[in-house]
Amino acid sequence: MRPSDAAFEAYTGEYAEIYDDLVAGLRTKREQYSEIAGVIVPVLKEGENNILEIGPSKTDNLRQALVRRGIVDSDFGQIAEHEKFGRVELYGLEYFPEMINSRDDFSVEMVRGDVRMVLPFADNSFDVVVINSVLLSIDYEDLEGCMKELSRVIRPNGALILSELDSCVGEEVSGNVLKREVELMSLEYGQGFVEKVGFYFDLGRELWGKYSLKKRSDSVNRVITASHDGFDANELMDYMGLVGLQPDYVSRTYAGSYHLLRGRKV
C-alpha cells in the first residue's frame, strides 16, 4: 500500500499505530500467515534459504508463522541446525520508512524500496518471495512490470507466494474478517464468549459498521486507496505465467476473502 509521500508525511507516526490496531494483531491475520507459511515449507530446499516479504509493514507475522512451524528460531530468526533446512534468512522490502523505523524486530533484514520500481536485489537472490495485499494498490499498467521484478529476484525452482483480495468479495471483506475473528476468539476463550461480549456470527458486515475501529479505518482509507477492486484467481495465474512462474497451488485465505497462490520459477 502506498499513498502519496505528502499524504504519508501528514500521517507519520500515526499510520503504523493505526495499521497495528486494524490489521496486524488480528487472529485472522495470524491465521492467514500460518496458511502462507504452510505453502512456503514444501518449497524450501535443504541448505540455506532466503525469504523476502514485500510490504511487511511493521509486523513480523511471517516470521512468527515460521517460528510456529519450527522453521526459524524465535529469538534470532534462523536455525543453524534444522533437521531438514539449514540457515533461513528473512528479508523485508518496505516502502514506508516509518514502518521500518518502528520495528523492534531485528531478525528480519529490512530494505526500503518500491515494488513498482527496479528492486534493490540481484537476480536470483531469493528462494521464496511473499507478497500479501500489495498488488491491490498498484495500477494495472504497472502490474506486469512489478511481476517481472518479483520473478527476476527469485532463484530457479524458487517460488512466489501471492495473496490478494478476491474481486468477487470486494467490500464484504470487512464483515467476513470480523465474523472469522469472532469465531477464532470463541475457540480461544470458549463458545460462550460470543454471547458474553455481545457479538453474533450472523451480524457480519453490519456489526463491522459499529465496530470501535471503524472511524480509524475510515481515516486510513482516506490516505490509502486501492487501485482496483481485487483479482480473479485466473487473472493472477495469467500474470504469473507471463513472467515465467508456473502456478502449482491455488486456495483461499483470510476468512475466504483472499486468493492464495504459489508459482514456481521454471
| Number of domains the chain contains | 1
pLDDT of amino acid 83: 64
What does pTM read for this prediction?
0.79
Asked if residue 121 belongs to a domain, the reply is yes
pLDDT of amino acid 106: 61
- Contact status, residue 194 vs residue 219, Cβ threshold 8 Å: no
Asked if residue 211 belongs to a domain, the reply is no
Asked if residue 239 belongs to a domain, the reply is yes
Asked if residue 190 belongs to a domain, the reply is no
Domain extent at residue 51: 5-169+226-265
Q: Kindly report, residue by residue over 119-167, the tens digit of the pLDDT.
A: 999 999 999 999 998 898 888 889 999 999 999 999 999 999 999 989 8
State the DSSP string of 78-128: --TT-SSEEEEEEEEEES-HHHHHT----SEEEEE--TTS--SS-TT-EEE
Asked if residue 201 belongs to a domain, the reply is no
Domain CATH code at residue 104: 3.40.50.150
